[in-house]
A and B are shown apart, each in its own frame.
Chain A
Amino acid sequence: MAELLQFIFSGLTVGAVYALVALGFTLIYNASDIVNFAQGEFVMLGGMTTVFLGLAGVPLPIAALIAVIATVAVGVALHRLAIEPARGAGPVVLIMITIGASIFLRGVAQIVFDKSFHSLPPLFGTDPIRVGGAAILPQSLIVLAGAVVIVVLLWVFIDRTLFGKAVIATATNRLAARLVGIDTRRIGDFSFAVSAAIGAVAGILVTPIAPTSYEVGTLLALKGFAAAMLGGMGNAVGAVVGGVLLGLLEAFAAGYLSSQYKDAVAFLIILAVLFAMPQGLFGRAKVDRV
């Protein structure tokens, strides 16, 4: 019983990270139909900038704030300088642009920061909370809470504000949205900015658990993407459920089957789910109107 509980704790810890990354994918996808593979680099930038500002003597809360702002600036720059000029191109080209951007950001980070791993002190210490023979770090709970707060904020924003409706309208039909007076470029800027902010916050919250380096973004983006697909691309609740589910799958596979095949097992299950429900767990089937 203690084992099961420990596996669940492990799954929640890892899953919360995936969920935060998956959330970042959601908004840009909603606003522009692009899967932004530089999302992992937003996470990296958030963590690394905070670490290096901290090393330079800036108090951590201020360092974290600057890191979020810097990452948002990078996100908007990415949209203005790389995505917007190529607007006419198909989604595949745009996705390739984001992959290029992610390689570029990694290269720059390698030079501006360094190639080593770095960590941040956890918010509430390193003493684990013990429950029924299992242990979880306070920081894991913070990451989970962070995911929940971001989901609620996103949901309120998309479903309850006019600006949010404009985001959805832009995603559904760009031309029509512009015809009714929506500034679609500003919507694009905005979605990249918010996604970058979500990524940066994820990076800052996660770094005390898993050390960060210039190249952590690649794998996080991959796992986050898998989580977003599992939950249904473009659905905020789906992203969180997908992330936590992926984390739990990995933990159970490592604990009960074999740690050697845990990634394979997790991805096999994702494949199986997508076979049965191609839109993901929470995704809505797209209807083409004639």
Chain B
Amino acid sequence: MRAFQRFIVTVVGVGLLALANAGQQASAQIKIGAVLSVTGPASFLGDPEKKTLEMYVEDINATGGVNGQKLQLIVYDDGGKANEALTFAKRLVEEDKIVAMVGGSTTGSTLAMIPVFEEAQIPFISLAGAIQIIQPVRKWVFKTPHTDTMACEKIFVDLKRRNLTTIAIIAGADAFGKSMRDQCVAVAPKAGITIAHEETYGASDTDMTPQLTNIKGKAGVQAVVNTGFGQGPAIVTRNYRQLDIKLPFYQSHGVASKQFISLAGPAAEGVRLPAAALLVADKLPADDKQKLIVEYYKKTYEQRSGGQPVSTFGGHAYDGLMILVEAAKRAGSWDKAKVRDEIEKTKDFVGTGGIVNMSPTDHLGLDLTAFRMLEIKNGDWTLVP
């Protein structure tokens, strides 16, 4: 008798569970895909991106979802490998049947995934840096982070304002440093900047004084630009002061983190670099259009990630998700083609990365105002007016 009772209870229980499941499926969640580099060498990108997406999808669902439908986020980790990203992209399209895609942490994995989403005609908002993702414009592909080209242009504008036109570049031999160096060289003539001398260093070198000695000895150089990422720029900055070079010194947005200041120490004083507004959220003037949103995102992220400091990379994920959600709201449905059209029509969207104005020829939609020129003073960022 006991056994029979237990049997009945089990059957009823299983039945209820099945019903509950069916009920959930009936409300048809909207599936949004993401392939991020949560582990591996690019985990500093993928990790905050994943946390951000999860946080805000939860928030959106808590307030009733979008167009009456809840969102379901499906995240795969490509470990920074482009071929794995490609496999996951196919799985998202064929098995998970997603309606939109946010992510692709690195340029490599994004470029690998583009053909899949172009063919399946699914809106794809990438979180990777390189300009090649949106140039040439592809119908279904968008991106949120600034490009290296914009960082170069921002630096050059600041140089011109200080009447400096002849510079030397010292570039890290990593992908970021090389790419930005190439972009700077490409846009220099248009900006009226002459690059008189170039040096490089290995990404894990521990002393760059020989390269800087050569720059110091080069006549006519008025300023130095360092394109690079990670520990390299911190050592370059220290060596720069060690050799007592007096020229204005520019770093890239690749080192725009407090970590750079603490690694370079007092040598970082006076260094200028372009960076997103998010880094100086508390220092933006009250009438800044982005102030509200960057302060809100910074607070949310730092609270809910367990005290992890905010990074611009997570901010790009926030921008991507919100651009998608707002486009879907305007479209009034989750029809892929309609959502795509609305993403392209995004106007005056205030994100953490800047004010986004997309168009059929511009699938990024940011201009130079997205970057702020910062100077390091007393171990902290200050805005250069």
Contacts and interface: CB of A to CB of B under 8 A. Distances in A.
Given A14-B206, A116-B259, A259-B200, A7 B231 contact: no
A126 B265 CA distance: 9
B231 A117 contact: yes
Nearest to A118: B263
A254 B211 contact: yes
A6 B207 contact: no
A235 interface: no
Nearest to B213: A6
Given A3-B217, A117-B263, A135-B243, A210 B211 contact: no
B44 A115 contact: yes
B201 A259 contact: yes
Contacts of B204: 216, 219
Contacts of B267: 126
Contacts of B210: 6-7, 10, 251-252, 254-255, 259
Interface string A104-126: 00000000000111110000001
B171 to A, nearest CB: 9
Interface string B107-144: 00000000000000000000000000000000000000
A213 B231 CA distance: 9
A3 B213 contact: yes
Q: How large is the interface on B (under 10, 10 to 19, 20 to 34, 35 or more residues)?
A: 20 to 34
B325 to A, nearest CB: 31
Contacts of B259: 116-117
Which of A17, A211, A255 neighbours the largest number of chain B CB atoms within 10 Å of its CB? A211
Contacts of B199: 259
B200 A211 contact: no
Contacts of A7: 209-210, 213
Given A14-B206, A211-B235, A255-B213, A126 B243 contact: no
A209 B209 contact: no
Interface residues of A, number: 32
B230 interface: yes
B5 interface: no
Contacts of A255: 210-211, 213-214
A260 interface: yes
A22 B377 CA distance: 40
Contacts of A3: 213-214, 217
B43 interface: yes
A9 interface: yes
A30 interface: no
B202 interface: yes
Contacts of A9: 209
Interface in B198-228: 199-202, 204-207, 209-211, 213-214, 217
B262 interface: yes
Interface in A245-290: 251-252, 254-255, 259-260, 262-263
B242 A137 contact: yes
A91 interface: no
A6 B265 CA distance: 22
A60 B210 CA distance: 32
A13 interface: yes
Contacts of B242: 128, 135, 137
B213 A17 contact: no
B288 interface: no
Interface in A125-180: 126, 128, 135, 137
Contacts of A6: 209-210, 213, 243
A251 B213 CA distance: 11
A115 B39 CA distance: 11
A210 B214 contact: no
B244 interface: yes
B266 interface: yes
A9 B201 CA distance: 17
A5 to B, nearest CB: 10
B234 A211 contact: yes
Contacts of B173: 260
B260 to A, nearest CB: 9
A168 to B, nearest CB: 33
Closest 4 CB pairs between A and B?
A210-B206, A255-B210, A254-B210, A10-B209
Given A10-B209, A128-B244, A211-B235, 11 more contacts: A13-B207, A14-B206, A117-B259, A117-B263, A119-B265, A135-B209, A135-B244, A209-B206, A210-B235, A252-B210, A255-B211
